[in-house]
Amino acid sequence: DVTAPGVNIIAAYSEAVSLTELDSDKRRTPFFTLSGTSMSCPHVAGLAGLLKALHPDWSPAAIKSAIITSATTLDNSRKPILDESLNKATPFDYGAGHIQPNRAMNPGLVYDLNITDYLNFLCGRGYNSSQLKMFYGKPYTCPKSFNIADFNYPAITIPKFGPGHSMNITRTVTNVGSPRTYKVHIKAPPQVRVSVDPRELIFKEKGEKKEFRVTMTLKPQSMNTSDYVFGWLTWSDGRHQRVRSPISVNLTQ
């Protein structure tokens, strides 16, 4: 979903074991320089805690959305983030980008979820009412049809998209800021045509929800390829707020 500081992080280290974890190594230290996802994760967990303290009424999904949609794809020199091979990174390398705690505090809009959303998602994954009751605690009737792509997540991923395919995806955003008007900006994945309806969302009060539909089609003269291509969908008020979601599409022949 996102990336966070994880290289050469000075972190607490157990003095019960050595740096190499070898019996012959008698060295002990209360801290050590470490790298990896185990270092990135605490940064994001801490940010989630700070956002919950700042916004006690936010759901876990709202907090996650704020972190994802406020992320940046630029490094600390304001250049595009590169992968480990020094190539331009993609959402498969950094998700929506590198976290920006200050921007996450005031994301403008969030993609929220409730219990019904999660249950419908599980229905779409093949769970039946009896299985859902085991952990939900009471009966739940799955809808007759549910498109997993409509799960209200702050990202769009299409795992299989080939010639002749067209897909409609629905999302709902909740205003967590002041009254504003947002306009959509689309950077479509190569070979894919993306449209959004409506292209403008007007929010008159905090907590107001608006739904929009994303339609994706393959361009008529697309190249024959089988690979993921990437794009972005951004809602912006033209001033301070930019709510951005990655789009990932797997082109299949």
Answer whether residue 223 shows pLDDT above 80.
Answer: no
State whether 38 and 115 are in the same domain: no
Sign of the Cα torsion 202, 203, 204, 209 reads positive
pTM: 0.89
Please indicate, yes or no, if residue 3 is contained in any of the structural domains.
no
Answer whether residue 211 shows pLDDT above 90.
Answer: yes
Backbone angles phi, psi at 51, to 5 degrees: -65, -35
Q: What is the pLDDT of residues 107-148, one digit of tens each?
A: 999 999 999 999 999 998 989 888 999 989 998 988 888 889
Please indicate, yes or no, if residue 18 is contained in any of the structural domains.
yes
Distance CA 66, CA 62 (A): 6
Looking at 44, 76, 104, the residue that finishes a domain is 104
Q: What is the pLDDT of residues 52-62, one digit of tens each?
A: 999 999 999 99
Exposure string for 128-153, b = 16+ CB within 10 A, e = fewer: eeeebeeeeeeebebeeebeebbbbb
Token pair of 86 as six digits: 């020094």
Exposure string for 170-205, b = 16+ CB within 10 A, e = fewer: ebbbbbbeeebebebebebbebbebebeeeebebee
The helix-helix angle for 37-54 and 60-69 (nearest 10°) equals 120
CATH code (residue 226): 2.60.40.2310
> What is the band of 224 on the pLDDT scale with cuts at 50, 70, 90?
low
Looking at 53, 76, 104, the residue that finishes a domain is 104
State whether 123 and 232 are in the same domain: yes
pLDDT of residue 225: 63
Please indicate, yes or no, if residue 178 is contained in any of the structural domains.
yes
Nearest by Cα to 3 from 142, 98, 73, 86: 98
Q: What is the pLDDT of residues 30-81, one digit of tens each?
A: 998 988 888 999 999 999 999 999 999 999 999 999 999 999 999 999 999 9
Domain holding 157, by residue range, is: 109-251
Looking at 104, 135, 156, the residue that finishes a domain is 104
Token pair of 171 as six digits: 């999302």
State whether 55 and 173 are in the same domain: no
Please indicate, yes or no, if residue 79 is contained in any of the structural domains.
yes
State whether 73 and 32 are in the same domain: yes
Please indicate, yes or no, if residue 1 is contained in any of the structural domains.
no
Please indicate, yes or no, if residue 117 is contained in any of the structural domains.
yes
- Total domain count, the chain: 2
State whether 51 and 66 are in the same domain: yes
Nearest by Cα to 32 from 50, 15, 53: 15
Nearest by Cα to 94 from 159, 193, 6: 6
Please indicate, yes or no, if residue 84 is contained in any of the structural domains.
yes
